[in-house]
Amino acid sequence: MISRIVNSMSRVPPFLLSQLLCICVLSAQPQYSSSLTRILDETQAVLVIPDGFRPVSVRENPNVRYDFAFTSTEVKLEMRILLRPLGREIEAFKRGESSGPDPNSIHEALLLTICLNLSGGVPCEPTSFDSDDVHSDFNADAGATTFVRLNSEFGRGFNNALINVFHRDDVGDIFVFFLFDDFKDVGSTLFREDVFHAVKFK
């Protein structure tokens, strides 16, 4: 899985058209607060801060909300986590109370929207993870990754981001943002087992 991500980062994403969606998630303090514990439970996710990282405050911004962040103490690399539990949305959809699409089908559309928000309107082209890999590594049913050149308040202080999304049917979505300047300076840290797999489904 990791080798495919490295290869995909050498490709320049083409310009695409995409419709903006609204993404609303709760923010949390940089410790395992009750609100973070609750949203982890609702998403059936587990989060372990990697060695050599420390929690940092969530930064309010108009682009994308997120729930938790930690930064490397050795290289310029920040990791941000957005958790999106789907339980209530799935129940409403199955009862016919929602006119929107199946909540299990929109994680890549949300990823495209996030790319637009973080890049200043430049579309990206996500690469889907192999279903067997994403299941064995993250206990997910689907996932995708993309590279973004940052041009937004969310990315202030960083040049680039690698974004992963992991989806588990009827449970939730996990978005992971790796923010950095130059990939060659952080690649060996980013792809460490405990860093790349710091958050996953139970």
For the segment 62-101, what is each residue's pLDDT rounded down to a tens digit?
999 999 999 999 999 999 999 999 999 999 999 988 878 9
Please give the pLDDT value at position 99: 79
Neighbours of 60 (CB within 10 A): 9
106: left (phi over 0), alpha (psi -120 to 50) or beta: alpha
Torsions phi, psi for 109 (to 5 deg): -65, -40
The list of the chain residues with pLDDT below 50 reads 5-31
Instruction: Please identify which residue in the block is written with the tokens 């958050």.
Output: 199
Please give the pLDDT value at position 20: 34
Please give the pLDDT value at position 98: 80
Q: pTM for the whole thing? A: 0.84
Sign for the pseudo-dihedral over CA of 86, 26, 39, 202 = positive
Whether 168 contacts 151, CB under 8 Å:
no
- Nearest CA to 148 out of 167, 126, 166 is that of 126
Q: How far apart are CA 32 and CA 34, in angstroms?
A: 7
CATH fold for the domain made of 2-201: Protein Transport Mog1p; Chain A (3.40.1000)
Please give the pLDDT value at position 97: 87
Please give the pLDDT value at position 32: 60
Please give the pLDDT value at position 168: 98
Instruction: Please identify which residue in the block is written with the tokens 């310009």.
Output: 15
Please give the pLDDT value at position 183: 96
Please give the pLDDT value at position 96: 87
Q: How far apart are CA 58 and CA 176, in angstroms?
A: 14
Please give the pLDDT value at position 2: 54
- Encoded tokens for 7: 């290869």
Domain boundaries, the chain: 2-201
